[in-house]
A and B are shown apart, each in its own frame.
Chain A
Amino acid sequence: MKYFLLLAPCVLALATPLYNSIEPQLFGIPFFFWFQLALIPVSALFILAAYLIERHD
């Protein structure tokens, strides 16, 4: 589980064809840019989850 949580953001970040498009835009920002920016805090949450799980064990 812990390693899955760590792997998930890496897979998303490297799945470039998934986010290589202009649409849908957000506040005029192309998808390519805002998706990657949004993925940064999301990846931190994944790592936080891994951290909490490890502590719990």
Chain B
Amino acid sequence: MIDHLNWTATSVFVAFFVLVTVVGFLASRWRSADLTQLNEWGLGGRRFGAWITWFLIGGDLYTAYTVIAVPAIVYAVGAFGYFAIPYTIIIYPLLFAVFPRLWSIAHARGYITAADIAVGRYGNKWLGLAVAFTGILATMPYIALQLVGIEKVINALGFRGEGMLSHLPLTAAFLILALYTYKSGLRAPALIAFAKDIMIYVFVIAAVVIIPAKLGGFEPIFNAAGSFFEKKGGMTGLSLAEPQIVPYITLALGSAMALFIYPHSLTAILSASSSDAIKRNAVALPAYSVVLGVIGLLGLMAHAAGIQVTNPQDAVPQLLLVMFPNWFVGFCFAAIAIGALVPAAVMSIGAANTFSRNIWKPFVRSEMSGSEEATLAKLVSMLVKLGALIVILIVPTQYAIDFQLLGGVWMIQCFPAILFGLFTRRFNSWALLAGWAVGMIAGTALAWGPSSWVPTHAVLGWFSAYNGLIALALNVATASVLSAFFVSDAADEQTSADYKFSITPAK
């Protein structure tokens, strides 16, 4: 089990993991407040300034799975895997244009989830249920994939096990995570994000300096990758083949539209102390995209370093093992594993907030006090993580990946219900609900390939595009047409002053 263990790397890895665990438990005392209230446990009391928000959103969006998956696709097919870059470029203008408005209304009205916003606008709890259900459904596989990130680096450390025993380190890591999230709420990932992000930056700067220097510069790297793709053939290469262009664009656009309505992104955004903090973050967060761009190139560097793996997701861990001294490998692997803990914690908190606020409270028990709401959310955050762990232990990883892909397609169907209401009262909530249903069914049907789930689909036999966007087009069309026939039921409870509210309230 531990005969092949890389002891130096493992010691460094474990040391950092222990450090982060201590931080996670101590976080409950940070800016201490009444953690029995959902607003405090689940949103950190909405008191995170621009700096903390930068670390938290960055740590939340650029997950361990991203660090493993983006270079894995680039390793396998080349240029197409780089769609993550235009995707992360366009999210920030979107963040700047739309989300300060959303923050303001949420702050003025005490909303903590996306579904709260839809319910607040239209007074339709069924629309809220649709948004909440989609958010939780899409988040589950996302959490599961964070575990894949941890497991990849644990395996690369040389840990071998038979059967259930092989998952022992992962299970331990996740139980620890579940316990401190339960205790400290959003404060834990916010504090851990500092350590995680600094470690990731150190890892990436070292990687972009040391690895090309060892491989003789960028030219040999791209030459080696180029000849690999030439030999492999098919839709691979250092630039896109003609039929890949529209899928590339639509995947980037669709993923960007889905990103900020995921419960975990909204949780991080709503925990900011002002709408100005969000705007500043839209300016400063692209720094993380540079990191992601460099990490993507690691997939090509692996070819130049002669890394040959059957599962592309092992490319980066193997590359680091070849290129770095053992102690630094331990450091980088710890950065990746801790990088999984921050988003996993925020995702489970986002899903838990949504469950207690928008499913349990309106449909099961309307007379919940603030502390009952928080207690329920804590329990649900625990259950969500256990569910994700069980999925990874029992179900083949490929299912989780497919499910996550579908999750993006589903999530984007909530875009009209959540965001249209911020700008117009024209839509009817039942029409939006019908649009959502059409989008969900169409998106799922389109993804149903003959042998596996597929991300893109041909449109009228002309070009292929991302399923999520095709389904969204049907969704918006349905909602618009039906809204023309029904009177708008958008309440005017959200006054225009609420949208401009951006001052940090006195404590």
Contacts and interface: CB of A to CB of B under 8 A. Distances in A.
Given A27-B218, A33-B297, A43-B286, A14 B86 contact: yes
Interface in B84-111: 85-86, 88-90, 92-94, 96-97
B53 to A, nearest CB: 15
A47 B92 contact: yes
B381 to A, nearest CB: 33
Interface of A: 3, 6-7, 9-10, 13-14, 16-17, 20-22, 27-30, 32-33, 36-37, 39-41, 43-44, 46-48, 50-51, 54
Q: Which 4 A-B pairs have the closest CB atoms?
A: A28-B219, A6-B93, A13-B86, A28-B218
B283 interface: yes
A40 B290 contact: yes
A41 B239 CA distance: 22
A14 B79 CA distance: 14
A23 B482 CA distance: 49
A57 to B, nearest CB: 12
Contacts of A41: 286, 290
Contacts of A14: 86, 90, 249, 252-253
A54 B283 CA distance: 13
Contact of A21 (B90, B239, B282): B239
A21 to B, nearest CB: 6
A16 B293 contact: no
A43 B85 CA distance: 12
A9 B280 CA distance: 17
Contacts of B217: 27-28
21 contacts: A13-B252, A14-B86, A14-B252, A16-B245, A20-B79, A20-B239, A21-B239, A28-B222, A29-B218, A29-B222, A30-B238, A32-B240, A36-B82, A36-B86, A40-B286, A41-B290, A43-B93, A44-B92, A47-B96, A51-B96, A51-B282
A40 B308 CA distance: 31
Given A9-B90, A39-B85, A43-B89, 9 more contacts: A10-B90, A14-B249, A27-B217, A32-B79, A33-B79, A36-B293, A37-B293, A40-B289, A47-B96
Interface of B: 79, 82, 85-86, 88-90, 92-94, 96-97, 217-223, 238-240, 245, 248-249, 252-253, 279-280, 282-284, 286-287, 289-290, 293-294, 297
Given A14-B253, A22-B238, A39-B89, A30 B286 contact: no
A36 B70 CA distance: 15
A36 to B, nearest CB: 4
A32 B297 CA distance: 12
Contact of A22 (B89, B90, B220, B239): B239
B96 A37 contact: no
B232 to A, nearest CB: 17
A27 B216 CA distance: 12
A28 B104 CA distance: 47
A6 B92 CA distance: 9
Contact of A40 (B85, B220, B248, B280): B85
Nearest to B87: A13
Contact of A9 (B89, B218, B223, B290): B89
A14 to B, nearest CB: 5
Contacts of A37: 85, 290, 293-294
A40 B96 contact: no
Given A41-B286, A41-B290, A16 B280 contact: no
Contacts of A17: 245
B93 A44 contact: no
A27 B221 CA distance: 11
